[in-house]
Structure 1
Amino acid sequence: MTQISATPTEQQLRGEMDTARRNRRQIRTWLWVVVFTLFALVLVGGATRLTESGLSITQWKPIHGVIPPLNDAEWQEEFALYKQIPQYSQLNSDMTVEGFKSIFWWEWAHRLLARSIGMVFALPLAWFWLRGKVETGLKLPLVGILALGGFQGFIGWWMVSSGLADRTEVSQYRLATHLVIACLIFASCVWIARGLSPHSNDKPPASCSKTMAAAIAIMALFQIYLGALVAGLDAGLSYNTWPLMDGAVVPSDLFIQQPAWINIFENPKTVQFIHRCGAYVLFAMVFVHMLYSLARGAGTTHARRSVLLFVLVTLQASIGIVTLLMQVPVVWGVAHQGGALIVLGFALAHWRGFIGEYPWEMRIKERQ
């Protein structure tokens, strides 16, 4: 039997589909590189906070600030600027230039990496755009991420400026805002990259599976916000016992400040307790989601991912407990922050898996 060859129109459509797949693969790879770079940035940011290095650079120089001090005179000049802020006079008045260098390099690396991410995102986006590789439905979201990244630079300086006049550390409110925006940029890149990836054809274990996955991802982000408040108040340096806190399941004096709501944001004891409770809630949500997925859809891709998500959350909870018991050493504190991002990223990818791949703008017509 003679095989009927494809018509030119069908050949053209197949070629266009192959091109579209290749474009998606390239954009997806680029976005995962951005995600990895953002992950590294958040880790360096966490180390900068834990080493109390964030106020070592007292000026915002988006361009000139790329170049660090290159000689003794420039180091003395930078150190003199640091001596003018309360953190030096109240906490580090015995610091030498060599000691100042140790905190300067953390903040400088954090800012340099932040600037680099702008280039890692903007330049490839421009190249993909000019080459016609960006699908119409992705243009606005990608531009939105770029704009949010630019806004994050302003938020970073807004955060640092809160500790240059009347405080010895940055405002916990601004620190939490800065971290949450970083997580939103991270989450957006994960969401788009996952949407450009092939998806399983397995059906959700239950009608509520997608809703449960969405709730878990949102709770993971909220838990990161609570963790930022803990970090901003140095709340992890006290009440370093578990499972009891201050000798009780529910400690006293949680609402000692007035008005009562202010304790949620400014009382270190209350903030740490709420963060603990948030961890318990997230753990319970993931555990129930896993059991439900295994009961309704054992063997499916979604069920297997629910198990992996539970493992990640369990590991993250364990790291959090160790970090607390050890009074937040830098290595464990950074590991805990990194673990939070991994949980958030996987929870988002798991949620996105229930929605399916982005619809193709070009589809091959089935042959009659």
Structure 2
Amino acid sequence: MQQNHCSISIWLLLCCVMILIMIFVGGVTRLTHSGLSITEWNPIIGIIPPLNDDDWIKEKNKYETTPEYKYLNYDVTLKEFKKLYLIEYIHRLLGRVTGIIFFGPLSYFACKRMLNKQLVYSLIIITFLGILQGVVGWYMVKSGLVDVPHVSHYRLTAHLLLALIIFYLLWKNFLNTIVRKVYVISCVDMGFLKIILILIVLQIAYGALVAGLNAGLIFNTFPLMDGQIIPRGLFWMSPWWCNFFDNVVTVQFVHRSVGMTIMILIAVITMKLRSFNIVYLLCICTIIQFMLGVGVLLYNVPIFLASMHQIMAFIFYAVVVYILHCAELTKE
């Protein structure tokens, strides 16, 4: 793509920002237990919220058929329900707005033939994944409308990881449209960065599992887990591998352990690549994310900190992708 198409760069960057905003609002939706307040998925007519008292009463009556209402929120008032509903509504509305921001300029650029073949293929994939994300989002919500008053942590994780894939493709395409600054590094350092990137993806996945299982509400101490390095109940489930996905103790332990491993690797790569200013941004991201994570744990998952922790993970990921995008191996 020609570098003078700065409008395409701005568009792709705006799409990335919209993904981050949706991640934040999605976190708020989950933490306020608002995600199950809208019991239907209407991609077109669902854009219109309840407009009068009768509409609100109808929506609340639908909510009263859900397990969440029957077992947890049976005393919720209409006023309280409106707050829950509007948070979930905003999250869904942002999804539609993001779609408009993506497809509107895309149609224009396509008509003007401003997109090269490689970018077109990538945008087709993003389009498919965006539609799939809407389906997965509803599939996740639906898991909390049948028997249990909460969504499946597996589906929640899939929803977040799919958002990460879409974010990666948009971010990578954005990077391809701007001037590339080259960092010449060794094969070992390149390997370090790729390992860090893989661990960040794993950490994001485990963050979703922690959220879905409410594992952040236990062991609210740091660095030890209630005074222990290896907490009790780490492998009480059978078969043993189930603990890594369903045991709240193990899931939080892995999330902590992977986080500490990433910090150590970032410290090592910062020392090795200290001549490149960009690694200090990576170091700053690490420190901020670490402080947010500890704050979320010690203060029993406050909504703002937890949502910022989730967004920061994506920003952290984006910085590593940028460094890898600019990196070239030495010719030794």
Matches within 5 A, 1:74-93: 74-93=55-74
TM (normalized to structure 1)?
Answer: 0.87
Select between 258-267 and 165-174 the one with higher mean Cα deviation.
258-267
Is 2:155 the partner of 1:182? no
1:201 to 1:227, Cα distance in 2 relative to 1, 3 A: closer
1:247 paired residue among 227, 231, 235: 227
Write the distance in 2 (CA, Å) between the matches of 1:345 and 1:237. Answer: 28
Does the CA-based 8 Å contact 1:43-1:338 persist in structure 2? yes
Write the distance in 2 (CA, Å) between the matches of 1:68 and 1:218. Answer: 40
- RMSD (CA atoms): 1.4
Show the counterpart of 2:4: 22
Does the CA-based 8 Å contact 2:184-2:328 persist in structure 1? no
2:254 paired residue among 239, 251, 274: 274
SS in 1 for 2:233: coil
CA apart distance, 1:312 = 0.5
What amino acid sits opposite 1:317 in the alignment? Answer: F
Show the counterpart of 1:312: 285
SS in 2 for 1:203: strand
Does the CA-based 8 Å contact 1:217-1:351 persist in structure 2? no
What amino acid sits opposite 2:203 in the alignment? Answer: Q
Show the counterpart of 1:117: 98
Write the distance in 2 (CA, Å) between the matches of 1:348 and 1:104. Answer: 36
1:348 paired residue among 318, 321, 328: 321
1:202 to 1:60, Cα distance in 2 relative to 1, 3 A: closer
CA apart distance, 1:347 = 1.3
Write the distance in 1 (CA, Å) between the matches of 2:226 and 2:247. Answer: 14
Show the counterpart of 1:169: 150
Matches within 5 A, 1:1-368: 20-23=2-5, 25-204=6-185, 206-294=186-274, 298=275, 303-354=276-327
Does the CA-based 8 Å contact 2:190-2:324 persist in structure 1? yes
What amino acid sits opposite 1:39 in the alignment? Answer: L
Write the distance in 2 (CA, Å) between the matches of 1:113 and 1:197. Answer: 27
What amino acid sits opposite 2:57 in the alignment? Answer: Q
CA apart distance, 1:207 = 2.7
Does the CA-based 8 Å contact 1:155-1:178 persist in structure 2? yes
Write the distance in 2 (CA, Å) between the matches of 1:107 and 1:76. Answer: 17
SS in 2 for 1:21: coil
Write the distance in 1 (CA, Å) between the matches of 2:66 and 2:117. Answer: 49
Q: What is the CA deviation profile of residues 244-282 of structure 1, one whole-angstrom value per residue up to 9, with x for unaligned ones?
A: 003201112111111111111111111111100110111
Write the distance in 2 (CA, Å) between the matches of 1:85 and 1:310. Answer: 45
Q: What is the CA deviation profile of residues 214-239 of structure 1, one whole-angstrom value per residue up to 9, with x for unaligned ones?
A: 22222212111100000000110111
Does the CA-based 8 Å contact 1:163-1:169 persist in structure 2? yes
Q: What is the CA deviation profile of residues 11-46 of structure 1, one whole-angstrom value per residue up to 9, with x for unaligned ones?
A: xxxxxxxx93222x2211110000111100000000
SS in 1 for 2:273: helix
Write the distance in 2 (CA, Å) between the matches of 1:202 and 1:233. Answer: 41
Does the CA-based 8 Å contact 1:229-1:271 persist in structure 2? yes
Write the distance in 1 (CA, Å) between the matches of 2:134 and 2:181. Answer: 38
CA apart distance, 1:202 = 4.3
Unaligned runs of 5+ in 2: none
CA apart distance, 1:338 = 1.4
Does the CA-based 8 Å contact 1:286-1:310 persist in structure 2? yes
Higher-Rg structure is 1
TM (normalized to structure 2)?
Answer: 0.96
Select between 226-235 and 216-225 the one with higher mean Cα deviation.
216-225
Write the distance in 2 (CA, Å) between the matches of 1:355 and 1:126. Answer: 35
Write the distance in 2 (CA, Å) between the matches of 1:231 and 1:114. Answer: 21
Seq. identity, % = 37
CA apart distance, 1:201 = 4.0
Does the CA-based 8 Å contact 2:153-2:208 persist in structure 1? yes
Does the CA-based 8 Å contact 1:242-1:321 persist in structure 2? yes
Unaligned runs of 5+ in 1: 1-18, 357-368
Does the CA-based 8 Å contact 2:216-2:297 persist in structure 1? yes
Write the distance in 1 (CA, Å) between the matches of 2:293 and 2:183. Answer: 34
Q: What is the CA deviation profile of residues 150-208 of structure 1, one whole-angstrom value per residue up to 9, with x for unaligned ones?
A: 1100000000000001111100000000000001111111111112211224422x233
What amino acid sits opposite 2:310 in the alignment? Answer: Q
CA apart distance, 1:306 = 1.3
CA apart distance, 1:355 = 5.5
